C-alpha cells in the first residue's frame, strides 16, 4: 500500500472528477461559498495497485465513482453561466413579489370587517327578482314624481302668463275706455253740460261740435257722449222731463205744442218717445 494526497472538496462545492487535482494557481469559484470550518481539503489515502484507491480511515468523504455532476473550472476556461433562478436580477424581484403575496394573504386572512362571504348570504333567484322589482318600482315612482312636478310647474307658468295677459288686456281696455286726451276732454265737457241744464243726446252732440260750443270733432264728441252713457252719467228720459218742466215754467204750452218743442230740430231734439214720456210725466 502507498500513501497519496487526495483533493477533498467540501459538500457545498461541486464534486470533482475522480483523481482530479487542482493545478497550480487554481482558485475556487466564489459562488461555491466558503470552506466549512475544520474541513480538510487534502486527505491521505492508501493506493493499492491491484484494487485501486480506498479512502483512508478517518476520512470525512469518499469520492463517488462515475462522472461528477460538474467540473471545477480551469483557469483558462470561461465560467459556465449560472442558472437563471440563481441570478440576482431574477432572484431579488421574485423574492419581493413573493413577499408582497405573502403579506396580502396574511392581511386578507385577518380581515374581520364582515366583507367576506358568510353562510346564507348568497343571492338567490328569488331575492334577485325581488331586488329588481323593487328597483323598478322605485324608478317608476321617481319618474312619476318628476312628471307631476313638471306638470305643476307647467300649470303655474300657464297661470302666470294668463294673469299677465289679463292684466295687459285690462290696462288696454281702461285706456280704450278713457280714450285719448281730447276724447277725455269731450267726455268731461259733456258731463258738465248735462249737469248744468237738460240736453237730449242729439242736442248734446250739437253743443259739443258747434263752433259756438266745444268745437270738438264729431268722433271725439261721439266718444265723450258714449262714455257718459256707458258710465250711467245720463238718463235721456229724465232729461226730457226736466226740459219739459223748464219750457212750462217759461212759456206754458199745450201737450202737442210741448211735444213739438221737445222734438224739434230747432228745439231740444228729443225723440218722440222721450217727449211723450215727459208730457205724460207732467200729467198733460
Low-confidence winner among 99-103, 157-161, 272-276 (lowest mean pLDDT): 99-103
Low-confidence winner among 12-16, 58-62, 249-253, 265-269 (lowest mean pLDDT): 58-62
pTM: 0.43
Cell of 159: 297661470
* Concatenated DSSP letters of 141-172: HHHHHHHHHHHHHHHHHHHHHHHHHHHHHHHH
Q: For residues 208 and 190, is the Cβ–Cβ distance under 8 A?
A: yes
Average pLDDT score over residue span 93-112 = 66
User: Would you state the pLDDT for residue 66?
Assistant: 39
User: Would you state the pLDDT for residue 72?
Assistant: 52
Residue 5: beta bridge partners? 44
User: Would you state the pLDDT for residue 222?
Assistant: 97
E strand map for the chain = 2-7, 42-48, 52-54
User: Would you state the pLDDT for residue 59?
Assistant: 42
Cα–Cα nearest to 196, from 250, 253, 234, 232: 234
pLDDT digits (tens, 9 = 90+) for 145-203: 999 999 999 999 999 999 999 998 888 887 788 889 999 999 999 999 999 999 999 99
Would you call 92 helix, strand, or coil by DSSP? helix
User: Would you state the pLDDT for residue 57?
Assistant: 42
Provide CB contacts within 8 A for 33, sequence distance 6+: 10, 12, 13
Cell of 264: 224739434
Cell of 157: 307658468
**CB-neighbour burial class of residue 88 (10 A; exposed 0-12, middle 13-18, buried 19+):** exposed
Confidence class of residue 52 from pLDDT cuts 50, 70 and 90? very low
Confidence class of residue 103 from pLDDT cuts 50, 70 and 90? confident
Residue 89 has pLDDT above 80, yes or no: no
Average pLDDT score over residue span 67-76 = 48
pLDDT digits (tens, 9 = 90+) for 25-50: 888 888 888 989 888 888 876 655 55
Average pLDDT score over residue span 4-18 = 84
Cα–Cα nearest to 61, from 35, 47, 41, 32: 41
Low-confidence winner among 69-73, 127-131, 184-188, 263-267 (lowest mean pLDDT): 69-73
More confident residue, 136 or 236: 236
User: Would you state the pLDDT for residue 281?
Assistant: 97
User: Would you state the pLDDT for residue 175?
Assistant: 79
User: Would you state the pLDDT for residue 226?
Assistant: 97
Q: For residues 7 and 31, is the Cβ–Cβ distance under 8 A?
A: no
Q: List strands edge to edge, sheet with 2-7.
A: 2-7, 42-48, 52-54
Amino acid at each position: 500500500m502507498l500513501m497519496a494526497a487526495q483533493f477533498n472538496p467540501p459538500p457545498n462545492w461541486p464534486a470533482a472528477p475522480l483523481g482530479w487535482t487542482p493545478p497550480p494557481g487554481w482558485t475556487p469559484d466564489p459562488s461555491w461559498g466558503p470552506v466549512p470550518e475544520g474541513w480538510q481539503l487534502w486527505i491521505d489515502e492508501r493506493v493499492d495497485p491491484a484494487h485501486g484507491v480506498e479512502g483512508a480511515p478517518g476520512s470525512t468523504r469518499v469520492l463517488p465513482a462515475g462522472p461528477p455532476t460538474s467540473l471545477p473550472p480551469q483557469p483558462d476556461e470561461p465560467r459556465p453561466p449560472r442558472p437563471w433562478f440563481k441570478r440576482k436580477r431574477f432572484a431579488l424581484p421574485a423574492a419581493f413579489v413573493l413577499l408582497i403575496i405573502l403579506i396580502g394573504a396574511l392581511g386578507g386572512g385577518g380581515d374581520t370587517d364582515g366583507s367576506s362571504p358568510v353562510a346564507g348570504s348568497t343571492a338567490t333567484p328569488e331575492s334577485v327578482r325581488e331586488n329588481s322589482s323593487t328597483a323598478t318600482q322605485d324608478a317608476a315612482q321617481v319618474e312619476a314624481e318628476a312628471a307631476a312636478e313638471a306638470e305643476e310647474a307647467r300649470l303655474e307658468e300657464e297661470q302666470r302668463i294668463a294673469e299677465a295677459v289679463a292684466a295687459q288686456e285690462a290696462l288696454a281696455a281702461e285706456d280704450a275706455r278713457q280714450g285719448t286726451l281730447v276724447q277725455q276732454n269731450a267726455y268731461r265737457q259733456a258731463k258738465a253740460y248735462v249737469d248744468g241744464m237738460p240736453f237730449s243726446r242729439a242736442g248734446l252732440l250739437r253743443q259739443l261740435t258747434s263752433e259756438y260750443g266745444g268745437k270738438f270733432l264729431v268722433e271725439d264728441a261721439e266718444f265723450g257722449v258714449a262714455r257718459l252713457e256707458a258710465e250711467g252719467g245720463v238718463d235721456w228720459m229724465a232729461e226730457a222731463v226736466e226740459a219739459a218742466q223748464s219750457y212750462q215754467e217759461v212759456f206754458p204750452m199745450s201737450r202737442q205744442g210741448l211735444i213739438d218743442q221737445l222734438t224739434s230740430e230747432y228745439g231740444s231734439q228729443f225723440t218722440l218717445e222721450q217727449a211723450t214720456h215727459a208730457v205724460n210725466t207732467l200729467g198733460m
